[in-house]
Amino acid sequence: MRCAVLGDPIAHSLSPVLHRAGYEALGLDWTYDAVRVGLGELAAQLRPEAGWRGLSLTMPLKREAMGLADEVTERARLVGAANTLVLGDGRISADNTDLPGAVAAVRERYDGPVRAGTVLGGGATAASTGLALCELGAGTVTVLARSPERAQETLDAIGRHPTAPEVRVGSLDDVPTGDVLVSTIPAGAQTPELVGRAAGIPVLFEVLYDPWPTPLAASAGSRPLVGGLDLLVHQAAVQFELFTGRPAPLDAMRAAGERELAQRSSA
């Protein structure tokens, strides 16, 4: 069976390492590659003769993929973006595993209350992690973006959560509030001033795994820190189960990711 991660850029992706480790642990003769695909090329990859079983999607494909699917799961519809396509019987199903992956990643590191939270960034990952905060109990979610006027899709997505959260928007110059701070912005945008404003947030969730640690992650100290590898492993585990129908070997997948990142950092 053939699976892959699609996106542009894509060479940095850890997904092949995680999924291949899962296949090896379960003795599955499956393949998983990284394929560089731009926005205009996505539809061509979904032809039946391409032979795909499952596809992981990175930016900038997550929102476009919704319109190419025959079926869209409720959580993908909620986020307004799909990071997963399951292909079979001539049909394409779009799903979003970032949402349950983010919930699982936080709960693995922190079991306390989440009454409110702040998300840095306004893209598709900000939408899924903002919704994850709602799943964890947040009644208020604040989105701080470099361009607040361009974050409307993300604000709308978080506002669609069944708990009807209060959704606020501001700029990266504002002070984060709440129990959890999620960063979906590049490491280069994490200025010393921004890091300082985040000092009072009890839990940090950094969605990046490379470079590591980011300035925000390095500032965690004794606070619970949810890392990008945590998110990637948990969302990949959900994808693995959707693609194969088998429980994901989470420990094997995580260990493979840790080894790969250690090799990259020493190179």
For 16-43, the DSSP string reads HHHHHHHHHHHT---EEEEEE--GGGHH
Nearest 10 degrees: Cα torsion 106, 112, 118, 123 = 20
Give CA–CA dist 97/50, Å, rounded: 23
Catalytic residue chosen out of the listed positions 19, 62, 63, 234: 62
**In the β-sheet with 116-120, what is the strand arrangement from edge to edge?**
166-171, 140-145, 116-120, 180-183, 203-206, 225-226
Whether 194 and 172 have beta carbons less than 8 Å apart is answered as: yes
**CB within 8 A of 155, min separation 6: which ones?**
122, 143, 167, 169
Look up 62 and say whether it is catalytic: yes
Residue 224 burial (10 A CB sphere; 0-12, 13-18, 19+): middle
- The residues assigned a catalytic role are 62
